Amino acid sequence: MELTAVEVDIGTRSPTILLNRADATELGVRPLDRVQLSHGDRISIGIVEVTDGLVSRGTLGVTRRLGHVAGVVDVTLAPRPVSVSFIRKKLDDVELEHHELRAIVEDIDADRLNDVELAAYVTGTYTNGLSLAETRSLTEIMTDVGESLVWKDPIIADKHSIGGVAGNRITPIVVSIVAAAGIKIPKTSSRAITSPAGTADTMAVFCPVEFTLAEIQQIVEQVGGCLVWGGGVNLSPVDDKIIRVETPLSLDPPGQIIASVLSKKKSAGSTHVVIDIPYGEGAKVRDLPNARELAEDFKRVGEHLGLTVECTITSGSAPIGRGIGPVLEARDVLAVLDGGGPKELRLKSLRIAEILLGCCTSDANASTLLESGAALAKFREIVAAQGGDPDVTIADLVPGGETVEVRADRAGVVTHIDNALVSELARRAGAPKDAGAGLYLNCTVGEHVEVGHPLFTIHAEHEAKLAEATQLLAVSEPVRVRSVGEALVERI
């Protein structure tokens, strides 16, 4: 059939071809089918949506992702990409071969799969799992797709934390310590997806975080480390597309986590990596056996890629720092670097830095680097190199002025702080978009509190958002206080 093509931006990720219902019926195609457009000697394939109004009969709409298509084109039914049959195999619990995974990754990269097929890939790898061989292949293939960084140094350090724990902002501290030890650490981090702040959101409080790969290379060559947003560069483009589909379902297939993390590290040119795996109620990894298994697989796949991988398994059942939300976390980070700050955040950062330094065969001492102020000086260098104010003080980092303080309504022991609930409160208060919004914890698990002891403070930049957060307070118990007797029973 011959139709006239016009460009329409309907906001879909995949190359979409919008057909008038009458033309679609005539062609015998349905939504989610694919059609091929031939125009001159060029051929484009896109996924069909059917409309009654947006394009009229005889005309078809094409999205920009399809490339430039205009004027009269010949339209024919196109077959599904072959990778769809490999996704189908995974749903039937058949182990996929290297070339089959490659076809899937390449089709994801080229936006050739529709949302149904992408979701089937993610749910299939979740319910049926990925074998070690599949995970290895996938990591290798995802490393090949996208750009990469190359360094002269033989040792390039990196770290990654599996998410889900509130206030776990150890990265700026670890990077500063390791870079202060003279080991290059080109750290890319994510922005918040479902949490109140990612490392990139917290760093954005101090300085710009969006750079090109060439700029990142230059910053790291100059000061030994960086703390930038990974989404601004093309190190693992497929990862973002997979995450987009995982997010609505809160899915994180373990094999996919390994492939995503390690392919990104490999593309960043890293050679020595520490993976922090928090486990426990509310964390992404639920229990110790699962954490151990994930750690073993991380090491095995790392070895296959020629990476030295160390894993730490840490408690993830309660927040680490006191602040939750970009500015509140930035204050904690600066306080720790300055010799104070929340104890748990300080201890965890030091331990991870120590392990990473050991793994890089450095004999530098993490505590000394932190206590001497060397790490703080290095952090200020990184902030300056990224275009921020190196002389920033905690007083400059002002949390949102609309606040509600929540106090203990009985005396007792803090038995539980709920990661998911404090994160949700911080998000409702406006984090991460309102950098000053969030939540500050005035207690830790195990602490004895009297009636009226402040438990936490919610900060917002806007009154309406504070109200949205406090609404949730009425029906939830983010910090649990129990009398000593109750607390004992609860622990049995």
In the shown chain, the binding pattern of residues 211 to 250 toward a copy of itself, with x for contact by CB under 8 A and - for none, equals: ---------------------------------xx-xxxx
Single residue of 4, 10, 131, 483 touching a copy of itself by CB under 8 A: 10
Q: For a copy of itself, give the closer residue by CB, 59 or 444.
A: 59
Q: Which of 252, 276, 332, 434 is catalytic?
A: 252
Amino acid letter, residue 218? Q
Nearest distance from C-beta of residue 307 to a copy of itself, angstroms: 30
Q: For a copy of itself, give the closer residue by CB, 33 or 239.
A: 33
Half-sphere exposure of 31 toward its Cβ, with a 13 Å CA cutoff?
Answer: 8
How far apart are the C-alpha atoms of 472 and 373, rounded to whole Å? 41
Q: For a copy of itself, give the closer residue by CB, 243 or 445.
A: 243
Nearest distance from C-beta of residue 51 to a copy of itself, angstroms: 4
In the shown chain, the binding pattern of residues 92 to 121 toward a copy of itself, with x for contact by CB under 8 A and - for none, equals: -x--------------------xxxxxxx-
Q: For a copy of itself, give the closer residue by CB, 32 or 411.
A: 32
How far apart are the C-alpha atoms of 192 and 326, rounded to whole Å? 10
Residue 49 as a binder of a copy of itself (CB under 8 A): the answer is: yes
Single residue of 5, 35, 50, 460 touching a copy of itself by CB under 8 A: 50
Whether a cis peptide bond, with omega within 30° of 0, leads into 478 is no
Stretch that binds a copy of itself, among 8-16, 168-176, 217-225, 295-303 (CB under 8 A): 8-16
For residue 225, what are the β-bridge partners? Answer: 185
Single residue of 73, 87, 205, 335 touching a copy of itself by CB under 8 A: 87
Nearest distance from C-beta of residue 27 to a copy of itself, angstroms: 8
For residue 416, what are the β-bridge partners? Answer: 480
8 Å CB contact between 33 and 63: no
Q: For a copy of itself, give the closer residue by CB, 53 or 306.
A: 53
Kindly give, in sequence order, each residue whose CB lies less than 8 Å from that of residue 492, ignoring residues fewer than 6 positions away: none
Scanning the structure block, which residue is given the tokens 């720790």? 336
3-state secondary structure of 109: helix
Single residue of 6, 251, 374, 472 touching a copy of itself by CB under 8 A: 251
CB neighbour class for 79 (10 Å; exposed up to 12, middle 13-18, buried from 19): exposed
Stretch that binds a copy of itself, among 28-36, 234-242, 263-271, 313-321 (CB under 8 A): 28-36
Scanning the structure block, which residue is given the tokens 């309660």? 318
Mapping DSSP onto H, E and C, the string for 204-235 reads CCCCCCCCCHHHHHHHHHHHCEEEEEHHHCCC
**Is 252 considered catalytic here?**
yes
Residue 31 as a binder of a copy of itself (CB under 8 A): the answer is: yes
Q: For a copy of itself, give the closer residue by CB, 63 or 176.
A: 63
How far apart are the C-alpha atoms of 123 and 214, rounded to whole Å? 36
In the shown chain, the binding pattern of residues 123 to 162 toward a copy of itself, with x for contact by CB under 8 A and - for none, equals: xx-xxx----------------------------------
Q: For a copy of itself, give the closer residue by CB, 119 or 404.
A: 119
Tokens of 101: 């995974």
Residue 433 as a binder of a copy of itself (CB under 8 A): the answer is: yes
Nearest distance from C-beta of residue 269 to a copy of itself, angstroms: 30
CA-wise closest residue to 130 among 76, 86, 180: 86
Nearest distance from C-beta of residue 182 to a copy of itself, angstroms: 39
3-state secondary structure of 407: strand
8 Å CB contact between 368 and 163: no
Scanning the structure block, which residue is given the tokens 């195609």? 29
How far apart are the C-alpha atoms of 256 and 194, rounded to whole Å? 18
Scanning the structure block, which residue is given the tokens 């790291």? 220
Tokens of 160: 């990654």
Q: Which active-site residues does the annotation give?
A: 252
Q: Point out which residues bind a copy of itself (CB under 8 A).
A: 8-13, 18-19, 25-26, 28, 30-33, 49-54, 80, 84, 87-88, 91, 93, 114-120, 122-124, 126-128, 244-245, 247-251, 432-433
